A and B are shown apart, each in its own frame.
Chain A
Amino acid sequence: MSPLSTLTPLTVKKSSPARNRLRGGARYAPTLATVGLFIAMFAVGAGMYPSFLSGQVFLNLFIDNTFLIVLAVGMTFVILTGGIDLSVGAVVALSMMVSATLLQQGWNPGAVIVLVLLIGGGLGLLMGLVIQYFDIQPFIVTLAGMFLARGLCYVISLDSIPVTEGFFTGMAQAQIPLPGDLFVSPGVLLALGIVTVAFFVLHHTRFGRTVYAIGGNEHSAMLMGLPVKATKILVYALSGLCSAIAGILFSFYSLSGYSLAAQGMELDAIAAVVIGGTLLTGGTGYVLGSVVGVLVLGIVQTFIAYDGTLSSWWTKIVIGGLLLVFILLQRLFARKAG
């Protein structure tokens, strides 16, 4: 068998790596396509409505969607593991309700925020534990979590409660000036900060890589000795925490607590994540993609607001249509790249 020893290293060496790199690049295709299409949409908007082409319109996409960005971040973690969290919208509402009620009773805003974060994180943790230890599908558990959180809102109060506390109103009205007569809200910085942290966690920590591994193949991840259980539980806790933060951001944004607020927001968050290129089956996707997904949903809304001639039903049809055009183009580009 002597010929072998001199021979093996020659065989595949040359061709394989280059092609693999090409293959690897395809991973980013859906997300890159999303970014490209977003830019294209912005350009189209600018062509159609003159006042569209302003930096502030772009920044408003962030200002008006801080909470959704944060929600999408949490949701990205969950979906990457192959799970889903339907409770986020209701937890946002609950966080708003709790903070509005407590602030009305004269609580210190710092304490309120801490408490809200604890409630959100705690609820997420609880759902994670149930999902993991009793092996119940995330869909059901988080749906029950949604009922529970929304139900607690009703129990707290059926009426909407205004927030008049100084810190919250200050945050609501603060504008951080940027060059060129532009501004953003403090919430935007917070949201972007969270995105950065999430990006770091996902790509530069073991926890983050375990999240991806679980999505790739949970059984394999378990056999590889990864802390699958703990990670899955944590992911839901994280999502709960993000929902609580989103709730506080929404409080800053709308200065009230209302039991029906953020209805259906879970679907927006999921849609943003999926539009951003994350696979619902888990394992592939990027948190930055999810942010762009939020912006895409936002820009669709902006289109509607700018148009101003659409009746209610045409609004829905146009939203659906834009979504369709978007995903079709995304598929097309992703396919070409892959």
Chain B
Amino acid sequence: GGTAGAGSAAGNSGDDKITMGFAQVGAESGWRTANTKSVQDSAKKAGVDLKFSDAQQKQENQIKAIRSYIQQKVDVIAFSPVVESGWDTVLKEAKNAKIPVILTDRAVDSSDKTLYKTFLGSDFVEEGKKAGEWLVEQSKASEPVNIVEIQGTTGSAPANDRKEGFAEAIKADPDLKIVASQSGDFTRSGGKQVMEAFLKNNADIDVVFAHNDDEGLGAIEAIEAAGKVPGKDIKIITIDAVKDGMTALSNGKINYIVECSPMLGDQLMDLAKKVIAGESVPERVVTEETTFTQEQAKQVLASRPY
């Protein structure tokens, strides 16, 4: 609290406290909330005055928020675009107002790269690829592997990209075949329902690839209800590495998780300070992310922050 007055006082005045406007997508998942929390905590730690707004998954709300940041003359604007395209107009307004912009989590596809200083975030295609590559590596024997895919929300960027990356990676092995693919909306109940149907429609399923941990966790419930053993009878690969997912991984119910870290806060604050100080920053900063097998999960589980 108490930022209202400070916000306007900050701006371009001599005050050395940085004001950052952060336009978040929304609170559609636990991952996103962890992301928000990370940004808020880091801002406090770094002494940055954060103006936060939640767009509730609407691009127009994000644009409105950015406009209001321009109006309020913040020092730097950061945001996670709801969608990749359509930001040129408002970013130009920011540029004209000489406010630097940092993208987080998702890129924008503007051809004019001067509209933002840098993009900090994961590479969704890469995540899909990592998942696929692990699978290719695991299934050496030349017998057919039936994969079912539980996609994220239809049309959303992570779903599109993870699907693409995964498909690309498993092309390497002709034995790997996606036999069914449905959207589970990134939720546990979605994952469970889809998996229930898959189990009834497909006699043998060897692998589940879920676009996030929650869908995977839902699938586990469905598999158990069908009397099979998740992680053994059916292998499960997911993306995200949230705590529940990691727990399941260390319990052997999931086989492999590709990390997609929401903890961008510290990196974001560093970048913001550099940008404002006029230092040069790389155009693309990929978040430090890794992958986890069951053994690795057991080791790090206790220290997972989210």
Chain A residues with a Cβ under 8 A of chain B:
48-51, 54, 56-57, 60, 64-65, 67, 153-154, 158-164, 169, 172-173, 250, 253-261, 263-264, 298, 301-302, 304-313, 315-316
If A161-B85, A253-B89, A311-B36 touch, whether A316 touches B56 (CB-CB below 8 Å) is yes
**Contact: B85 with A256, CB < 8 Å?**
yes
B219 is an interface residue with CB less than 8 A from chain A: no
Min distance, Cβ B184 to any Cβ of chain A, angstroms: 16
Residue among A48, A57, A154, A159 having the largest count of chain B Cβ atoms under 10 Å: A159
Say yes or no: B54 contacts A162, CB within 8 Å.
no
Contact partners of A161 in chain B: CB under 8 A:
85
B44 at the binding interface (Cβ < 8 Å): no
Contact between A258 and B86 (Cβ–Cβ < 8 Å)? yes
B83 close to A261 (CB less than 8 A): yes
Query: Is the beta-carbon distance between A172 and B88 smaller than 8 angstroms?
Result: yes
* A160 & B86 in contact (Cβ 8 Å cutoff): yes
**Alpha-carbon gap, A309 to B72, bound state (A):** 14
B278 interfacial contact with A, CB 8 Å: no
C-alpha gap A311/B40 in the complex (Å): 9
Interface residues on chain B, number (Cβ under 8 Å)? 50
Given known contacts A260-B153, A305-B69, what 16 new A-B pairs fall within 8 Å (CB)?
A56-B71, A64-B60, A160-B157, A164-B111, A173-B88, A258-B85, A301-B64, A304-B53, A305-B53, A306-B68, A308-B4, A308-B7, A308-B52, A309-B3, A309-B52, A311-B54
| Residues of chain A contacted by B51 (CB below 8 angstroms) | 308-309
| Cβ–Cβ < 8 Å partners of A64 in chain B | 60, 63-64, 67
Asked whether A308 and B53 contact (CB < 8 A) given A49-B4, A60-B67, A255-B86, the answer is yes
Q: Is B289 an interface residue (CB 8 A)?
A: no
Task: Contact check, B86 vs A306: say whether CB atoms are below 8 A apart.
Answer: no
B-chain residues with CB within 8 Å of residue A154 when the two chains form the complex: 154-155
Query: Does the CB pair A162–B109 fall under 8 Å?
Result: yes
Expressed in whole angstroms, the Cα–Cα distance for A315 and B23 within the complex equals 13
Query: A60 CA to B67 CA in the complex, in Å?
Result: 9
CB-CB contacts of B1-43 with A at 8 A, as 1s and 0s? Answer: 1011001100000000000010010110000010010001000
When distances are taken between beta carbons in the complex, the residues of chain B under 8 Å from A158 are 154-155, 159-160
Q: How far is the CB of B157 from chain A (nearest CB, A)?
A: 8
Q: Which residues of A contact B92 (CB under 8 A)?
A: 173
Chain B residues positioned under 8 Å from A306 (CB to CB): 4, 68, 72
Cβ–Cβ contact A305 & B89, under 8 A: no
Interface centre among B36, B68, B89 (most CB of A within 10 A): B68
Chain B residues positioned under 8 Å from A316 (CB to CB): 56
Please state if B83 and A160 are interface contacts (CB–CB under 8 Å).
yes
Q: Does B156 contact A (CB under 8 A)?
A: yes
22 inter-chain pairs at a CB distance below 8 angstroms, sorted by A residue, are A64-B63, A65-B60, A160-B83, A169-B88, A254-B87, A254-B89, A256-B83, A256-B84, A257-B85, A258-B86, A304-B54, A305-B65, A306-B4, A308-B7, A308-B21, A308-B50, A308-B51, A308-B52, A309-B51, A311-B40, A312-B27, A312-B33
Q: What is the minimal beta-carbon distance from B54 to any residue of chain A, in angstroms?
A: 4
In this assembly, does B59 line the interface, its C-beta being within 8 Å of a C-beta of chain A?
yes
Bound complex: CA A173 to CA B91 (Å):
11
With A and B bound together, what is the CA distance between A307 and B7 in angstroms?
A: 10
Q: In the complex, A257→B155 CA distance in Å?
A: 12
Quote the shortest CB–CB distance from A72 to chain B (angstroms): 14
Closest 9 CB pairs of A and B: A308-B51, A256-B85, A256-B86, A254-B86, A312-B27, A305-B68, A162-B85, A312-B54, A259-B155
Contact present for A311 and B52 (CB under 8 Å): yes
B61 interface hit (Cβ, 8 Å): yes
B56 x A315 contact (CB < 8 A): yes
**Which residue on B lies nearest to A49, using beta carbons?**
B4
Give chain B residues whose Cβ lies under 8 Å from the Cβ of A67.
60
B189 beta carbon closer than 8 Å to chain A: no
> Which residue among A51, A264, A310, A312 has the maximum number of chain B CB atoms within 10 Å of its CB?
A312
B57 contacts A263, C-beta separation under 8 Å: yes
The answer to whether B60 and A253 have CB atoms under 8 Å apart is: yes
Closest to B49 in A: A308
A202 to B219, CA, bound (A): 54
Enumerate chain A residues within 8 angstroms of B21, measured Cβ to Cβ: 308
User: In this complex, which of B1, B3, B88, B92 has the most chain A Cβ atoms within 10 angstroms of its Cβ?
Assistant: B88
> Which residues of chain A are near B27, meaning CB under 8 Å?
312-313
Docked Cα-Cα span, A159 to B109, in Å, equals: 11
Residues in A whose Cβ lies below 8 Å from that of B40: 311
| A51 x B88 contact (CB < 8 A) | no
Give B26's nearest chain A residue, CB to CB.
A312
Contacts of A257 in B (CB 8 A): 85
CB distance from A129 to the nearest CB of B (A): 29
* Pairwise interchain contact B89-A172, C-beta atoms closer than 8 A: yes
Q: Are B1 and A54 in contact (CB under 8 A)?
A: no
Known contacts A51-B8, A261-B59: does B86 contact A310 (CB below 8 Å)? no
Cβ contacts B69-84/A at 8 Å (1 or 0 each): 1011100000000011
> Are B4 and A160 closer than 8 Å at their CB atoms?
no
Residues of A within 8 A of B67 (CB): 60, 64, 305
B86 touching A305, Cβ below 8 Å: no
Q: Identify the closest chain A residue to B160 (Cβ).
A: A158
List the B side residues contacting A255 at CB < 8 Å. 85-89
